[in-house]
Amino acid sequence: MRHAKAEPGGETDAVRELAQRGWNDALAAGRWLAGSGITPDAALVSSARRTRSTWLAVAEGGSFEADATYSDSLYTAGPETALDLVRETDDAVTSLLVIGHNPTMAYLAQLLDDGSGDEEAHREMAVGFPTSALAVFEVTQSWASLDLASARLVAFHAGRA
């Protein structure tokens, strides 16, 4: 997931807060996940304020109680590093929500996609990866063995509240 819409400025980039539209979109994303039957066991979240706030709103919208890991490394990660961070996920986790920044999240989704998934989700993701966008993948192997083109895109959400 890409973080929700943030305020245009802040004291530093890391402390930018969500705009009201961002809060609303993240709440809606949480409701969409829950309505789709997707409940994260854990969340890997960039340490930036806007990603933390996105997680809080998604969790509230979906009534999720998953533990979140806030990562300074994800804040600065490129797609390969983000994939390495996902690979560190404990195999007891069956559903992981990753919330980060673009272009990393869009590139990571493209790298993971094996091309065999939902055609509509592929079309929607090809249009772009706006704020609050969610790409949902099915993974059949362990997190540690996750590799390029090894996940099936099953849904994509880019709605606005």
Residue-wise pLDDT for 133-146, tens only, equals 999 999 999 999 99
In a 13 Å sphere around the CA of 135, the CA atoms on its Cβ side amount to 31
pLDDT in tens, 56-99: 999 999 999 999 999 999 999 999 999 999 999 999 999 999 99
pTM (2 d.p.):
0.96
Q: Identify whether the C-beta of residue 82 lies closer than 8 Å to the C-beta of residue 98.
A: yes
CA separation (Å) from 136 to 8, 9, 64, 66, 110? 28, 30, 16, 17, 12
Position 9 confidence tier, pLDDT thresholds 50, 70, 90? confident
Q: Is residue 161 scored above 70 in pLDDT?
A: no
Domain definitions of the chain by residue range: 13-157
The CATH architecture assigned to 13-157 reads 3-Layer(aba) Sandwich (3.40)
Nearest to 104 by CA among 84, 74, 133: 74
Summarize the confidence of residues 109-113 as an average pLDDT. Answer: 97
- Mean pLDDT (the chain) is 96
CA separation (Å) from 108 to 39, 42, 146? 21, 18, 12
Summarize the confidence of residues 27-48 as an average pLDDT. Answer: 98
Q: Which residues pair with 2 in a beta bridge?
A: 100
Residue 56, token pair as written in the block: 């809080």
Backbone angles phi, psi at 48, to 5 degrees: -65, 150
